[in-house]
């Protein structure tokens, strides 16, 4: 049998993504579509646009390998969708029939009209895109399509990359096919489902409703604003009673009220908002976050009852709630270790689907126990760098000394755009596509908002800290490689870095080790040598409403149209 390359596609209506796993089971590429398109969350878009696919296949797929396309919807769910489609558009033979007919555009208006909803269209187009590109670019005809359950993909990606020999795995999101959450047992082989929670009793739906009641849009992924505002809220017993009427825990299950009761409770919350206008939004965010945490703890108790392990793997969209994640591991709790992957939401399912396909063909091979690098996306283009260098006479190449000069700029209070190597996979900038600042000035946060981010004042900025200093700066320090949990700063150091200490004394930290990201580590170490502070303020390199940048040209555009003082791309630097 020929060697195989596995192409995973995350094809839900938001956060589509593509991942490529090689014949040895290694993730060699993973990227959300929003990065290339520069379209936040890329709703209803292909995981990788057809114009971009040839480049990816040339770079990451061996032309001598067969290809397996793996998607994050199960056969059963696809058959359900096919019943509503005139053409059965998920069927591979249907996609192959379209190959010659659609040579210049993927799908015409007539075909689009016969599809049932945008979700169906997005997945069909995704499979067709990869098929066309593989045939044209690599000359492949031996291509197989496999489909996997949505929550199985979540669990596979998280468990296989956790480094644990055994773990209890909890998947919690809005809705995955027909499930709201699921529990798995992981013993080094494929995760085994233990319990599934079906219906609309979804913690993700609950938090989405809280987001809407606060005045934001969950379809745009604005739940993080609730987390940011919650520490500014006050205790509000009336709100707590009303929220408990909406969703409650019952023996490990989550129970949603009936539609009439939900509407009544929403009406009462709206009336309460009119009576308590002062600070009500913050109070609602606080009580909503606390209600979310109560529901999550109920599901963790059920997870503990189902699977005996000191290790917890948490994934799904709700695993992005870093405020809660930091509270899971404590002396009194059942779990001593927590792993949350860098992309726990639907984009991560691209890796999960590809890993499940690989596991089907290589079931006896255990998952690697090495650290899963999040730096899986687009690398810096040498051609782009050369073009910029030819046209920008202020661009200076410093080699490895660029970290020293950048650290000096940061210590002088300058705002630095920092672009290195391959992009991070997931929603967090982890030192390769970051805007960086000195965390010591209390006004640094306002400066970044005024110069670049233009976002709400209450939203915090995150600290990236050298791992070996973590215990001296955080209580109950836990390694946090993907900025996935929020921990409390020690009281005696908070005054030293006010720009990254949130209202409740916490910070959503990123642990930085040299073996994970040598250049970023060196930058922080150089800053530490100058200031005595082993951490930096780190926020994503984008402006409000846009995804993290994709190319050096994007970086240059943001640099010249915002208040960023210094731009570092690779070992090149430009200073205003």
**What string of pLDDT tens digits covers the 576 residues of the chain?**
789 999 999 988 889 999 999 999 999 999 999 999 999 999 888 888 878 888 888 899 888 888 898 998 887 777 666 665 555 544 545 544 443 333 233 333 333 333 333 444 455 555 556 665 666 556 655 788 899 999 999 999 999 999 999 999 999 999 888 889 999 999 988 999 999 987 677 999 999 999 999 999 998 889 999 999 999 999 999 999 999 989 988 776 788 888 888 899 999 999 998 888 789 999 999 999 999 999 999 999 999 999 999 999 999 999 999 999 999 998 678 999 999 999 999 999 999 999 999 999 998 666 666 789 999 999 998 888 888 888 888 889 898 899 999 999 999 999 999 999 999 999 999 999 999 999 999 999 889 998 998 888 899 999 999 999 999 999 999 999 999 999 999 999 999 999 999 999 999 999 999 999 999 999 999 999 999 999 999 999 999 889 999 999 999 999 999 999 999 999 999 999
- Given the candidates 3.30.70, 3.40.1800, 2.60.40, 3.30.420, the CATH classification of the domain at 4-151+348-361 is 3.30.420
Measured distance between the N- and C-terminal CA atoms of the chain, rounded to whole angstroms: 57
Helix (H, G, I), strand (E, B) or coil at 81: helix
pLDDT reported for residue 108: 37
Whether pTM exceeds 0.85? yes
Strand 66-71 vs strand 4-10: parallel, antiparallel, or unpaired? parallel
- Given the candidates 3.90.870.20, 3.40.1390.10, 3.90.45.10, 3.40.50.720, the CATH classification of the domain at 382-575 is 3.90.870.20
Task: Specify whether domain 164-339 bears CATH 3.30.420.40.
Answer: yes
Helix (H, G, I), strand (E, B) or coil at 261: helix
Tally Cβ neighbours within 10 Å of residue 131: 21
Place of tokens 């878009």: 45
Helix (H, G, I), strand (E, B) or coil at 417: strand
What is the edge-to-edge ordering of all strands in the sheet holding 27-32?
A: 27-32, 17-21, 4-10, 66-71, 143-147
Q: Where in the chain is the domain with CATH 3.30.420.40?
A: 164-339
Q: How many whole angstroms separate alpha carbon 317 and alpha carbon 340? A: 11
pLDDT reported for residue 74: 82
CB 367 within 8 A of CB 340: no
Q: Where in the chain is the domain with CATH 3.90.870.20?
A: 382-575
CB 221 within 8 A of CB 227: no
- What pairs with residue 197 in β-bridges? 181
Q: What is the CA radius of gyration of the chain?
A: 24
């Amino acid at each position: 049998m020929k060697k195989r390359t596995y192409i995973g596609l995350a094809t839900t209506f938001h956060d589509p993504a593509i991942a490529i796993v090689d014949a040895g089971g290694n993730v060699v590429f993973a990227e959300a579509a929003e990065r290339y398109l520069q379209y936040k969350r890329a709703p209803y878009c292909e995981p990788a646009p057809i114009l971009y696919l040839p480049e990816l296949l040339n770079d990451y797929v061996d032309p001598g390998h067969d290809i397996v396309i793996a998607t994050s919807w199960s056969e059963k769910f696809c058959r359900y969708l096919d019943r509503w489609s005139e053409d059965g558009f998920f069927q591979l033979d249907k996609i192959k029939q379209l190959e010659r007919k659609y040579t210049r555009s993927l799908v015409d208006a007539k075909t689009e009209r016969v599809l049932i909803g945008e979700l169906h269209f997005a997945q069909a187009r995704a499979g067709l895109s990869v098929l066309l590109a593989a045939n044209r670019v690599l000359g492949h005809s031996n291509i197989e399509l496999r489909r996997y359950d949505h929550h199985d993909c979540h669990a596979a990606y998280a468990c296989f990359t956790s480094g644990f020999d055994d773990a209890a795995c909890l998947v919690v999101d809005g809705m995955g096919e027909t499930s709201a959450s699921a529990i798995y047992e992981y013993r080094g082989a494929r995760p085994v489902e233990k319990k599934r929670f079906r219906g609309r009793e979804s913690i993700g739906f609950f938090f989405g409703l809280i987001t809407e009641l606060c005045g934001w849009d969950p379809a745009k992924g604005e739940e993080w604003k609730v987390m940011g505002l919650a520490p500014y809220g006050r205790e509000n017993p009336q709100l707590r009673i009303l929220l408990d009427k909406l969703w409650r825990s019952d023996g490990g299950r989550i129970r949603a009220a009936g539609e009439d009761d939900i509407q009544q409770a929403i009406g009462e919350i709206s009336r309460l908002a009119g009576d308590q206008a002062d600070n009500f939004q913050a109070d609602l965010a606080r009580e909503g976050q606390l209600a979310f945490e109560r529901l999550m703890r109920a599901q963790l108790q059920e997870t503990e009852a189902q699977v005996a392990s000191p290790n917890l793997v948490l994934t799904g969209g709700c695993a992005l709630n870093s405020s809660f994640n930091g509270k899971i591991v404590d002396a009194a709790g059942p779990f001593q270790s927590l792993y949350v992957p860098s992309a726990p939401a639907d984009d991560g399912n691209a890796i999960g689907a590809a890993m499940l396909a690989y596991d089907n063909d290589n079931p006896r091979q255990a998952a690697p126990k090495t650290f899963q690098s999040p730096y899986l996306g687009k690398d810096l283009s040498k051609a782009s760098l050369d073009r910029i260098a030819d046209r920008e006479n202020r661009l200076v190449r410093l080699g490895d000394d660029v970290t020293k000069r950048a650290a000096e700029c940061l210590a002088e209070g300058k705002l630095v755009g920092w672009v290195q190597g391959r992009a991070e996979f997931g929603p967090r900038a982890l030192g390769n596509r970051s805007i960086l600042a000195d965390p010591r000035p209390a006004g640094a946060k306002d400066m970044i908002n005024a110069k670049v981010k233009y976002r709400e004042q209450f939203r915090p900025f995150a600290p990236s800290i050298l791992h070996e200093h973590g215990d001296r700066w955080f209580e109950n320090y836990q390694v946090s490689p993907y900025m996935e949990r929020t921990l409390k700063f020690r009281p005696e150091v908070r005054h030293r870095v006010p720009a990254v200490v949130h209202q409740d004394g916490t910070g959503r930290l990123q642990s930085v080790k040299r073996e994970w990201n040598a250049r970023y580590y060196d930058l922080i170490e150089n800053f530490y040598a100058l200031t005595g502070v082993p951490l930096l303020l780190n926020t994503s390199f984008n402006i409000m409403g846009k995804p993290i940048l994709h190319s050096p040209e994007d970086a240059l555009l943001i640099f010249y149209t915002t208040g960023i003082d210094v731009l570092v791309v690779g070992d090149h630097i430009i200073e205003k």
